[in-house]
């Protein structure tokens, strides 16, 4: 019997999933840098366009390299379908606009990535979609926010930057009872540590820019879910609005998936060690890391995640102390990306979350002393020494 890739272990799916070899038998996946495709006859073109015969038509609709990336990520996620996008924000934008119409209502967790908040707060209202923000950890808040026209729920879990975790299964039940779809931004957990679809979510989105590339090169994103929801909701909007991922970036991300599991596990081992150094230091007022038993939602994390991930948040009490810490780092970069092989740290209040009004920042507990660190693949000893020295200087 032929092997079913869905039965493979995750390591095998990461390396071999979605592979579609050309007649040349290449080992490394081919990069099909082509916009269009030629047909054997006018009739063949007709059949391709009508959908009667499968095949590619135009890069905006699909591309063989991009499809390999989509198929491999779908296998890793355990999703029936995956559509790649040019960035994580394109994925979030399409995920929401595909589900929502004028007059509909969205409920969103209030701790969201800055650009996601802009889409929800500034863009959707232009098209008459209203949103209620809730404390995502409070299940009664989700229930109370539901209206007759609620069509979608949006959460990020763990959330940026303070790693607040939402009970995905319980929120999915509330969404479904209301006739709404649950969209989960799973960037921080990665497909290695959390499977929102298996927990009850309808749609998962990724910024592939983060751990999936993981080497600081390209932007990319993805939307995943079950058929027929994916086709009904996203096929036309993706074809006609043009957020297609370039085949070159697809190829980079496809190769990124081969080592995703290895990298994320090593980053997580490093993060656990660095989090211990941070938590033990006298300058640290609070440390939040999903892999620590003192995370405020450790029980929930044990239920729905299989690893703590590579992001740590910690409070040094003031902006001045946070900046002194950042400026004293010698190995770790000051940068706002995450999931990279290189460790980096940022001051959310003045970078990633600077456009968030202060009142809203305080609502999620984001005061001026917080630092967010993405732990990379350097030696844990070097990272611990660098962080410890910078904390001394804070
Ligand atoms: C980075 C990020 C995004 C946006 O992704 P881009 O690829 O930069 O467009 C969305 N959500 C989360 C949680 C992110 O970290």
Residue 88 CA to ligand 1 center (angstroms) comes to: 5
The domain locations on the chain are 5-256, 261-393
Mutate to test the pocket of ligand 1, among 112, 164, 210, 213 (most ligand atoms within 8 A of CB): 210
Q: Which atom of ligand 1 is nearest to the CA of 156?
A: 13
User: Under a CB-based contact definition with an 8 Å cutoff, are residues 93 and 242 in contact?
Assistant: no
Distance 207 CA to ligand 1 centre (A): 5
pLDDT tens digits, 36-48: 999 999 999 999 9
Distance from the CA of 178 to the center of ligand 1, in angstroms?
Answer: 28
Q: Tell me how far apart the alpha carbons of residues 218 and 86 are, in angstroms, rounded to a whole number.
A: 9
- Over residues 167-212, the pLDDT tens digits come to 999 999 999 999 999 999 999 999 999 999 999 999 999 999 999 9
| pLDDT for the residue numbered 357 | 86
CA distance 212 to 221: 9
Mean pLDDT, range 86-100, rounded to an integer: 98
Dihedral of the CA atoms 95, 99, 103, 104 (nearest 10)?
-90
Which pLDDT score, from 0 to 100, does residue 15 have?
97
In this predicted structure, the answer to whether residue 137 has a pLDDT above a threshold of 90 is yes
- What are the φ and ψ backbone dihedral angles of 314, each rounded to 5 degrees? -150, 150
Rounded distance from Cα 1 to ligand 1 centre (Å): 41
Q: Per residue in 96-114, pLDDT tens?
A: 999 999 999 999 999 888 8
- For 192, other C-beta atoms within 10 Å of its C-beta total 21
What CATH number does the domain located at 261-393 have?
A: 3.90.1150.10
Is pLDDT of 360 > 90? no
Q: Would you say the CB of residue 89 lies under 6 angstroms from ligand 1?
A: yes
- The encoded tokens of residue 199 equal 């927990």
**pLDDT given for residue 114 in this prediction:** 84
Residue 355 has pLDDT above 90, yes or no: no
In this prediction the pTM is 0.97
Given a contact cutoff of 8 angstroms between Cβ atoms, the answer to whether 368 and 318 are in contact is yes
Question: What are the strands, taking DSSP E only, across 113-189?
Answer: 130-134, 150-156, 181-185
Task: Choose the CATH number for 5-256 among 3.40.50.1000, 3.40.50.720, 3.40.50.2300, 3.40.640.10.
Answer: 3.40.640.10
Can you tell me which atom of ligand 1 is nearest the CA of 210? 1
The atom number, within ligand 1, closest to the CA of 89 reads 9
Note the pLDDT tens digit of each residue in 295-321: 999 999 999 999 999 999 999 999 999
Q: Per-residue pLDDT tens for 256-288?
A: 999 999 999 999 999 999 999 999 999 999 999
**What residue's CA is closest to ligand 1, atom 15?**
187
Please give the distance, rounded to the nearest whole angstrom, from the Cα atom of residue 92 to the centre of ligand 1. 9
356 confidence band (pLDDT: 50, 70, 90): confident
Number of residues that this document lists for the chain: 394
Structure tokens at 22: 């050309």
219 lines ligand 1 (CB under 6 A): yes
Average pLDDT score over the chain? 97
Tokens of 105: 């209502």
């Amino acid at each position: 019997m032929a092997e079913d890739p869905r039965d493979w272990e995750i390591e095998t799916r990461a390396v071999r999933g979605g592979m579609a070899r050309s007649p040349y038998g290449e080992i490394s996946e081919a990069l099909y840098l082509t916009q269009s495709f030629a047909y054997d006859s006018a009739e063949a073109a007709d059949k391709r366009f009508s959908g009667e015969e499968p095949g590619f038509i135009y890069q905006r609709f699909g591309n063989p390299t991009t499809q390999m990336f989509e198929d491999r990520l779908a296998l890793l996620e355990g999703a029936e379908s995956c559509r790649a996008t040019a960035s994580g924000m394109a994925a979030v934008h399409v995920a929401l606009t595909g589900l929502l119409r004028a007059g509909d209502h969205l409920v969103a967790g209030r701790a969201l990535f800055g650009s996601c908040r802009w889409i929800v707060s500034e863009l959707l209202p232009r098209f008459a979609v209203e949103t209620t923000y809730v404390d995502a950890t409070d299940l009664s808040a989700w229930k109370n926010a539901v209206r007759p026209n609620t069509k979608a729920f949006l959460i990020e879990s763990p959330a940026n930057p303070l790693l607040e975790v939402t009970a995905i299964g319980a929120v999915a039940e509330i969404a479904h009872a209301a006739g709404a779809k649950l969209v989960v931004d799973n960037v921080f957990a990665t497909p290695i540590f959390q499977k929102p679809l298996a927990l009850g979510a309808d749609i998962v989105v990724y910024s592939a820019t983060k751990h999936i590339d993981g080497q600081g090169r390209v932007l990319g994103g993805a939307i995943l879910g079950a058929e027929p929801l994916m086709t009904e909701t996203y096929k036309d909007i993706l074809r006609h609005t043009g957020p297609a991922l370039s085949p070159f970036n697809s190829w980079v991300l496809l190769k990124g998936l081969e080592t995703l599991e290895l990298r994320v596990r090593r980053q997580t081992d490093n993060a656990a060690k660095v989090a211990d150094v941070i938590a033990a230091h006298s300058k640290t007022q609070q440390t939040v890391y999903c892999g620590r038993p003192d995370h405020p939602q450790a029980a929930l994390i044990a239920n729905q995640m299989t690893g703590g991930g590579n992001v740590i948040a910690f409070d040094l009490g003031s902006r001045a102390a946070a900046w002194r810490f950042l400026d004293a780092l010698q190995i770790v970069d000051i940068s706002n990306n995450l999931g990279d092989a290189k460790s980096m740290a940022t001051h959310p209040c003045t970078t990633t979350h600077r456009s968030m009004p202060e009142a809203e920042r305080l609502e999620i507990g984001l005061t001026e002393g917080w630092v967010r660190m993405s732990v990379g693949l350097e030696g844990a000893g070097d990272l611990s020494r660098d962080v410890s020295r910078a904390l001394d200087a804070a």
